[in-house]
Structure 1
Amino acid sequence: MFGPKNRIITIANQKGGVGKTTTAINLATALAAIGERVLIVDLDPQGNASTGLGIQRRARHLSSYELMMGTHAIGQIAQDTAVPNLAIVPSTMDLLGVEMEISKESDRVFRLRKALASVDALAYSYVLVDCPPSFNLLTMNAMAAAHSVLVPLQCEFFALEGLSQLLETVDQVRQTVNPGLDIQGIVLTMFDSRNNLAQQVVSDVRLHLGDKVYHTLIPRNVRVSEAPSYGKPAILYDLKCAGSQAYLQLASEVIQRERQRKAA
């Protein structure tokens, strides 16, 4: 069903503002920095991952809309970024129309899977899919196409409630369209060590989900927040800041988990 040479990870959370796109950009950059060939598929109509990697809207002549509609292949759409080894299938607002256009098609849930089964996609060792902050047909496509789901989770009061809904969604997708779908891991974002509530959320999530939670905590960091406005990943904008260092550690954990999975 999937290409043997690459790993497709969907980055998803129905809640907005949890650091999903920031995680996609900086994890991809960190993986590329250690020599992996990485592709981001921007599946959010807002196109924040594309903007955050410096792809101007006027330069997005082809996008994930054409990918989902099946009119163009990844090799025709993907654009190189300023990060060596990292390319992106950019997004445009055209994606808003996809759900209506393909909703009655029999393969509506498998459009992205089909696109990522191509020779073009197999040229990348990692494909990261950045989802919209909702569970719709785009997110369903992303989960149907993926080997695993990585969940960014903000260290705040309602985090566990939202997480339980997402895990139920993953379970539904596993039972219906993608039995091999796994949870890659939960990454805790926007962590403030001075905040007692944040510390409690970390403890609660680790208690409930154990090894599924990455050791790395992504801190609240001004430099990480600034980076997208310059069209750069934080790792390029300020490598030494705490946020960049955390994403490098996260990439190391992702690689380690992949090695353990292959060895099992």
Structure 2
Amino acid sequence: MAGKVITIAQQKGGSGKTTLAAHLAVALARAGMGTRVALLDCDPQGSLGEWFERRETALGEDGTGLDFRTASGWGARREARSLARDYDVVVIDTPPKSDIESRPAIEAASLVAVPVQPTPIDLWATAPTLEMIAKEGTPSLIVINRALSRVGLTEEMSTAIRELGHPAAQTRLGNRVGFAASMGQGRAIQETEPGSKGAQEITALAEEIRLLLG
């Protein structure tokens, strides 16, 4: 039985795609039941690859708990499907601004997670990504990212999200320094700050996605 493919896509830069991809992969690998997780980096910037190299340095090649590959363009779809034959979950990080580069990874996905910061400008900029996902007929999930602590979504923002016509995750990720700080160490916030609000949020999001994927 083939594994599930989770593609992280957002054409707007600065949405936190790479951080979300790394943290979801670690959370799913730590979820128990022997879940085997692979990361596929399709972003030419290679930020996810740099994170993984730091992870190997910190934990050793056999201690990362993940596998890592790279691909570009149409090769992403082929590589994702190949990995899904050997792993329970494949998490793909896609490049911003390029629908041509992102489309193959979206085609291969079981679910596309779309990180969005809760501002009107970010919501407007997300529309092209959601339209591309809709054309491919792939299930999607909007993930509110970098939400300010102790500030709930305004009714205006909540309405705007609903009007996008795509489901949104119940779990929101806060604007927490721990996410970026852990990335610099080749780790995830669940490993550097276990029990923290950020660790709880990403664990809850991973569980929400796992249940969606069945």
**TM-score interval for Structure 1 and Structure 2 normalised by the shorter chain:** 0.7 to 0.9
Task: Show the 5 A alignment for 1:1-264.
Answer: 4-35=1-32, 36-55=35-54, 82-84=63-65, 86-90=66-70, 109=74, 111-118=75-82, 120-172=83-135, 174=136, 179=137, 181-183=138-140, 185-195=141-151, 198-200=153-155, 202-208=157-163, 212-259=167-214
TM-score normalised per structure 1: 0.70
Q: In structure 2, list runs of 5 or more residues that go unmatched.
A: none
Indicate if the aligned counterparts of 1:41 and 1:129 stay in contact, CA closer than 8 A.
Answer: yes
Letter in 2 for 1:149: V
Give the deviation of 1:49 after TM superposition: 1.5
Q: Unpaired segments of 5 or more residues in structure 1?
A: 60-78, 100-108, 260-264
Alignment check: 8 A CA contact 2:42 2:93 kept: yes
TM-superposed CA distance for 1:134, in Å, is 1.6
Cα offset for 1:191? 0.5
Cα-to-partner distance string for 1:158-178 (whole Å, 9 max, x where unaligned): 122122221111233x2xxxx
Rg larger in structure: 1
> Percent of pairs identical after alignment?
29
- Tell me how far apart the structure 2 counterparts of residues 201 and 49 of structure 1 sit (CA, whole Å): 34
TM score, norm. by length of structure 2:
0.85
Distance 1:203 1:117, change over 3 A: closer
Amino acid at match of 1:113: R
The one-letter amino acid paired with 1:112 is A
Q: Please say if residues 12 and 151 of structure 1, whose CA atoms lie closer than 8 Å, have aligned partners that are also in contact.
A: yes
Q: Which one-letter code corresponds to 1:192 in the other structure?
A: L
Asked if 2 retains the 8 angstrom alpha-carbon contact of 1:20 and 1:152, the reply is yes
Q: How many residues align?
A: 210
Per-residue deviation, residues 20-70 of structure 1 (Å, max 9, x unmatched) = 11111111111000131111101111111122234489x9xxxxxxxxxxx
Q: Distance in 1 between matches of 2:30 and 2:145?
A: 21
CA distance in 1, matches of 2:61, 2:160: 37
Q: Given the superposition, is the C-alpha separation of residues 113 and 207 from structure 1 closer, same or farther in structure 2, using an over 3 Å criterion?
A: closer
Mark the CA change 1:222 to 1:114 in structure 2 (over 3 Å): closer, same or farther.
Answer: closer
CA separation of 1:22 and 1:82: change in aligned 2, threshold 3 A: farther
Q: Deviation per CA, 1:64-112, whole angstroms, max 9, x where unpaired?
A: xxxxxxxxxxxxxxx957432x211157xxx6xxx6xxxxxxxxx4x32
RMSD (CA atoms)? 2.7
